[in-house]
Chains A and B, each alone.
Chain A
Amino acid sequence: MAELKVSVVAADQEVWSGAASMVVARTTEGEIGILPGHEPMLAILAKGEVRLTVVGGGSVSANAEDGFLSVSQDVVTIVARNASLVGS
């Protein structure tokens, strides 16, 4: 099955990167879910949690603030000035 290559990046470091089967994020327009094969997109993130469903089970959540989300050819990049993982 196709998977998403996700990286969560803060201004001074890479917070998380890996493969995920689904990404749920909150944009200024509302929540958005991204599955493999999503069309290329650039969206502004609202303050909130980004939830990743990791390939092979489990999930990761990260707080992202002041950033945006880009999707292109199953590569998802969540870029935020402040981003941190929520206690795993």
Chain B
Amino acid sequence: MGAQLRVYTQKIKSAQTTKKITRAMELISASRIQKAQQRVAASGPYSRAVTQAVSAVATFSNVDHILTTEPEKVERAAVVIFASDRGLAGAFSSSALKAAEELASLLRSEGKEVVYYLVGRKAVSYFAFRRRAAEESWTGETDQPTFETAKAIGDAVVARFLQPASEGGVDEIHIVYNRFVSMVSQVPEVVRLLPLEVVEGVEEPGDHDLLPLYEFEPDVGLVLDSLLPVYIESRIFNAMLQSAASEHAARQKAMKSASDNADKLIRDFTRLRNNARQSEITQQIAEIVGGADALSSSKK
């Protein structure tokens, strides 16, 4: 019986230790969400401004540019996946990877070859485990992304996009990331960056502004050349920030439920331990009473 008691005590201790860790992670994530959300908000004006400019060019000029025209035949598509560096964030990484797999099988069914660009250690290890090749990967700062990384990713994919398909270039660029909806909801989102599909925030020309004719300096081609990489970067940076905020939120939620589960385990095991202790005591009393009876009856 004593053994049973020890087993329960051990289990309670282990649940308590786990709870300490999960509680600490929960608090850390909770404090970082605020900051991550602020960064998403702070990057808003930039991406809005860039998007407006891109939509201005796309709407008010009819120039043919490699970045805006649909290629006749798409041979290869690049998919950039934004996962996390560390686990213990619930379904965060796996939902992004699942969305990416769905996208990849869709692209393959359309006869396109898929090349991957990975962000976050979890995505890298997912690919390494399945012995799949990825073009390039970036790890180490998914929880606090910097603009330099966004620029590096943007440069890599745009350079690949500008290569002709016969030399291994890609004709499409997709990104897959977790969009931060709220503290309890993060939705995996698939967006096609290039060729430009939906230009958000296009303002339909109202009555008062009859199609403003934009003047471009030095000229439309050059403006597009320098504008679109900036647009891609800002979209990628935004995706990284959204993904970081989502990661913290997902981790906080996962760690909160882990702490709650640990609480429940501790409570249950404490009950069992008390039971075990009580039955041990009962048995000891029974033994003593039995022994005393035996002694007193043998004296007679």
Q: Mark B213-236, 1 if CB is under 8 A from A, else 0.
A: 111111000110011001001100
B49 at the interface (CB under 8 A from A): yes
B207 at the interface (CB under 8 A from A): no
State A44–B56 Cα separation when bound (angstroms).
Answer: 14
Name B234's closest neighbour in chain A (CB-CB): A11
B52 touches A77 (CB 8 A): yes
Chain A contact residues, majority secondary structure: strand
Give the distance to chain B from A34, nearest Cβ to Cβ, in Å. Answer: 11
B53 touches A42 (CB 8 A): yes
A81 touches B147 (CB 8 A): yes
Query: Which residues of chain B come closer than 8 Å to A72, judged between CB atoms?
Result: 56, 212, 214
A/B interface sample: 21 pairs, CB < 8 A? A11-B147, A12-B39, A13-B45, A14-B42, A32-B217, A40-B214, A41-B214, A42-B56, A42-B214, A42-B216, A43-B223, A67-B230, A68-B53, A68-B230, A70-B56, A72-B212, A77-B49, A77-B52, A79-B46, A79-B50, A81-B151
State A28–B218 Cα separation when bound (angstroms).
Answer: 7
Query: Which residues of chain A come closer than 8 Å to B234, judged between CB atoms?
Result: 11
State A42–B43 Cα separation when bound (angstroms).
Answer: 21
List CB contacts (< 8 Å) of A25-80 with chain B.
27-29, 32, 39-44, 67-68, 70, 72-73, 77, 79
Per a CB cutoff under 8 Å, which of B42, B49, B218, B237 touches A13?
Answer: B42
List CB contacts (< 8 Å) of B188-219 with chain A.
209, 212-218
Give the distance to chain A from B265, nearest Cβ to Cβ, in Å. Answer: 43
Given contact pairs A12-B43, A41-B215, A77 touches B223 in the complex (Cβ within 8 A): no
A44 touches B223 (CB 8 A): yes
A10 at the interface (CB under 8 A from B): yes
- Tell me the A residues contacting B by CB distance below 8 Å: 7, 9-14, 27-29, 32, 39-44, 67-68, 70, 72-73, 77, 79, 81
- Tell me the B residues contacting A by CB distance below 8 Å: 39, 42-43, 45-46, 49-50, 52-53, 56-57, 60, 147, 151, 209, 212-218, 222-223, 226-227, 230, 233-234, 237
Query: Which residues of chain B come closer than 8 Å to A29, judged between CB atoms?
Result: 217-218
B217 touches A44 (CB 8 A): yes
B53 touches A11 (CB 8 A): no
Per a CB cutoff under 8 Å, which of A11, A14, A42, A67 touches B217?
Answer: A42
Query: Which residues of chain B come closer than 8 Å to A68, judged between CB atoms?
Result: 53, 223, 226-227, 230
A7 touches B49 (CB 8 A): yes
Give the distance to chain A from B196, nearest Cβ to Cβ, in Å. Answer: 16
Query: Which residues of chain A come closer than 8 Å to B151, judged between CB atoms?
Result: 81
State A72–B213 Cα separation when bound (angstroms).
Answer: 10
A9 touches B217 (CB 8 A): no
State A7–B213 Cα separation when bound (angstroms).
Answer: 22
State A67–B214 Cα separation when bound (angstroms).
Answer: 18
Query: Which residues of chain B come closer than 8 Å to A32, judged between CB atoms?
Result: 217
